[in-house]
Chains A and B, each alone.
Chain A
């Protein structure tokens, strides 16, 4: 590591173009910065921040979320298994169930956390990464409420006019289910190679909580309804900082980390 330049000023005139002495500072990980920003935005809207365990069992990770065994829907999540029916959680959604079991509605929470996927690693896939789950349940919490909250989040996170659009999707734990796209930041929605010329980038999955999931959490779906969403935090960080390889986050490479 190069030693910092310690130059004493001599004479009356100071050469103002000599580089300044850099103070030794540390750096926080970009995912920490993104996590904090996400928490801050949702806390400002009254969401509590909740965390849950990384090791889960099949019931909390799949069955309670309406993903039955022997069903092709399970193929949507490639899982790391441990002994005795335990596994590494494939999403932060199990915490929805854990929270509902212990709390009565109305409530709104976000759940940041590390998740695990049994997938081959490449520039956009890793074996462990981060997700933020959101859950809001009330007497008449609707899809329109979700749209307002997510638009507000996008405005505060990306700091500029970013539109969102909802289109049909499928998740076993929501019905209706949505795919949420946002305006492509690279071309401002005009269309480019990043967004396959559509002007839209896929951002996250969401939907209205499936009655079976409410039931699994001990909440009566006849009296309560709500929405849930899951955003990839690595994805958010990659879009915000224009990072093109997710593996950098877990590389420990100081040349990368010291840029933040």
Chain B
């Protein structure tokens, strides 16, 4: 909010604008900018949201400055000259339907005014603060708003039917045309100022055309009221109307300020537009607001800030802020809070006041004294870190993608959780999988990189109320076995054994989603549990290039991880390698052959390594050749050739039990 430096100086002695800005920033509100404006300076002050009620005004800011400089606040007293022959209560009637919507309504009447342009000094001040001068009546109300923080409104009394003002909720279907010629539809959630026939203004927000002040206006009625902040906020949102007045009401205002505001406005109008002020104030104020009392324990102040402030300094600060100390019994202080501080209701609020005026920069750094219990290890993060390290070591680059996907990607997944208020069409849904954005990464990077290895570990949202952590990796190209090797290596390093890969048999639900290329995809299983998938992506959904993805349920994975690692003693005795090649039908799975070899070979087969798969030229049609290194080793002796031959023959015999299998000799 912008403030005029010269205007502030009217109420208090101030240092130079730069110094003032620094002091405000360190003790109250950040000053975003200081700009020269003719002979004046404009300060853009970032008034904190909880201080709108007292600091959206020049007097409020001046009061703040008095608290942290040592100057005294000088607010000139305003003097009204009322006309004894005219009584306000005979000139206008006010009825407030619900005191919860409007806790106070004051009105004054000024007769025989001359509407015209306002004097230069008012126009200048309004302009410096970003408001447009209109006429002397409206300008006076705006001036008082900028000065005191109380918004006011002026009506042409002669245009008000029956000279009666009613503060009520609008009726469904009622309409209003505002001062700037815009039409609005009203309903019962909106508070209006009305006469017996029509709405005259949207309460606290904007005036209507019906009772508009114009050149011919002779008698005005001034409104200075306190409207419920929540209803003004709701109305403002509903109508899409935000004004300097509504902004102040939304933050809440001190009801005592209505009286100050209206008297000040009447005085100014009398000076600049002439007119006779009727005597008396019409004042609807059923429940007077009383100052709050707070008990402050001096020890708590010291304990919370970790800073010892002298008692006399504490009392002086409270005094400079306008707080009254009504009782003192050390270490307790009973403090009375002025009604203009709507934000103060707890001892902690007082401690903040004392601390900031004294200076938060004076709080020393002091380490806490705590017990030496080390924190418990967070296992999710522990395994996450290890997983990421392993993938990095395997040559993958980690990506972070948006948690959102667009319509196109959501279609592939058939169902995705919708965001009610997305920022864009591309972010309309929550991602049900990491895969769509990984595919997008390939498209975006393909110009510069034609071999891509990326992974992401993040949350997906498969259905409403559900979020799940997944690990997904992508390799471009014909990389199925490369990806399989990575998954094997990763799971092994995480201490997981009994990993196997099963053909992907999609459930009827899953079949509807054609991400994976048929017959080129596997379920990754640990014991009996499926923990993820590994396969080629169907060219139906991704055409740019061949791509292999592994997609693992990270939460399931963590449950299986183990740090336990048993060292395998290295045999002192040499190993012997024998090769074995077997011709099998194309549909035979390597794992079945491997299993047969291991079972037949027994404990002395230390390892079986597939080193070649060959089909095509030189091989019988419908068959493929699998070649293995079989590594024989015993822990307690050197195996003799004869022993090895015996086992090797046994293996061959078992393999050839199947008539279609042929061991090459």
Contacts and interface: CB of A to CB of B under 8 A. Distances in A.
Interface of A: 1, 24-29, 31-32, 36, 39, 43, 46-51, 53-55, 70-73, 75-76, 80-84, 86, 88, 106, 108, 114, 116, 118-121, 127-128, 136, 138, 140-145, 147-149, 151-152, 165-170, 172, 175-179, 208, 210-211, 225, 249-255, 257-258
B397 interface: yes
A72 B458 CA distance: 33
Contacts, number: 230
16 contacts: A25-B393, A26-B391, A26-B395, A26-B398, A51-B380, A82-B464, A106-B371, A127-B423, A140-B303, A143-B307, A172-B50, A175-B351, A208-B348, A210-B348, A225-B304, A257-B397
Interface string B52-75: 100000000000000000000000
Given A54-B459, A142-B306, A76 B49 contact: yes
A177 B352 contact: yes
B352 A175 contact: yes
B448 interface: yes
The 6 tightest CB contacts between A and B, nearest first, are A144-B306, A142-B306, A176-B352, A252-B441, A48-B375, A26-B392
B370 interface: yes
B329 interface: no
B289 interface: no
B445 A253 contact: yes
Nearest to A46: B375
B378 A127 contact: no
B567 interface: no
Interface of B: 25-30, 48-52, 229-230, 233-234, 250-251, 303-307, 346, 348-349, 351-352, 355-356, 360-361, 363-368, 370-376, 378, 380-381, 385, 388-389, 391-404, 417-423, 427, 430, 437, 440-441, 444-445, 448-454, 458-459, 461, 464-465, 467
Contact of A176 (B355, B376, B391): B355
Contacts of B306: 142-145, 147
Nearest to A225: B304
Contacts of B381: 39, 49, 51
B393 A1 contact: no
B370 A49 contact: no
A142 B391 contact: no
A152 B400 CA distance: 29
Nearest to A142: B306
A72 B236 CA distance: 12
Contacts of B401: 250, 252
Given A143-B360, A168-B356, 7 more contacts: A25-B392, A114-B403, A118-B423, A149-B367, A166-B360, A167-B30, A252-B454
Given A1-B449, A29-B400, A46-B373, A144 B363 contact: yes
Nearest to B349: A175
Nearest to A141: B368
Contacts of A251: 444
A118 B230 CA distance: 23
Contacts of B440: 252
Nearest to B441: A252
Contact of A82 (B48, B417, B454): B417
Contacts of B251: 72
B227 to A, nearest CB: 14
A167 B26 contact: yes
A138 B419 CA distance: 39
